Amino acid sequence: MNNLKNKKAIITGGGRGLGKATAIAFAKEGIDVAITGRKESTLQKTVEELKELGVKATYTVFDVGNYENVKTNIKRIIEDLGGVDILVNNAGIAGIGSFLDMSVENWEAIIRINLMGMYYVTKEVLPYLVEQKEGDIINISSTAGLNGNPDISAYCASKFGVIGMSESLMKEVRKYNIRVNTLTPSTIETEMTLELEMMEKGSKNVLQPQDFAELIIAGLKLPRRAMLKGASLWSTNP
């Protein structure tokens, strides 16, 4: 079982929801954590909670969908953190609307943040992992990336793309002892899903962010050799 203490992780969209739960779970394992997001007050509050758990924690405010911002800020956050061993690509948005009714601007924004943003961040973090010949990249997709559904065509397209990109990357970088895993949760009770009225707060049989974070920790603790040779797709339906 891998010892995670003193590892260094970057979590995009780490200020709330699944990202925050993962950051807290990491801190409890002794992992130093850097989180990113677009709302500074939320990031500050989360970093304070992480520091109370006895780890180094930092944050940077930027939009993962803007490559120039990503290039500048990923370099800065790795310098602040003192390196990087784990990347969790969690930042994402969703939107509901029929194929004809959703605006082109909204459709493009979902693809830009969910898919291109993940590509941008990974592209900037990956050279550090290749240089040290070890690392973990965890990409958050969705069951919406496995089957299309009405009124979420942009979201489905972005999450299908995440799976394809992740599986291709996995085959490229495992020679460097880098694991790339894609998680495909069904609906998780987060601020985003509640805001989109996809569920009611406290709904039964719905994944909680803390439960999902525990799954990520369990995966990181698996023997590296087994995971490098195994499948990259984890399905986490309740």
Catalytic residues: 155
With beta carbons less than 8 A apart as the criterion, state whether 89 and 140 touch: yes
> Could you tell me what percentage of the chain is helix, strand and coil, using 3-state DSSP and rounding each to the nearest 5?
50, 15, 35
Q: How many CB atoms lie within 10 A of CB 63?
A: 17
The alpha-helical segments, DSSP class H, found in the chain are 17-28, 40-52, 67-81, 104-111, 117-132, 153-173, 191-195, 209-221, 224-229
DSSP 200: -
Establish how many alpha carbons lie within 13 A of residue 212's alpha carbon, considering only the half-sphere containing its beta carbon. Answer: 32
Token match 């995670």: residue?
Answer: 4
Q: Give the separation between CA 220 and CA 1, rounded to whole angstroms.
A: 9
Kindly list the distances between the CA atom of residue 98 and the CA atoms of 107, 108, 140, in Å, as whole numbers in the listed order: 11, 14, 24
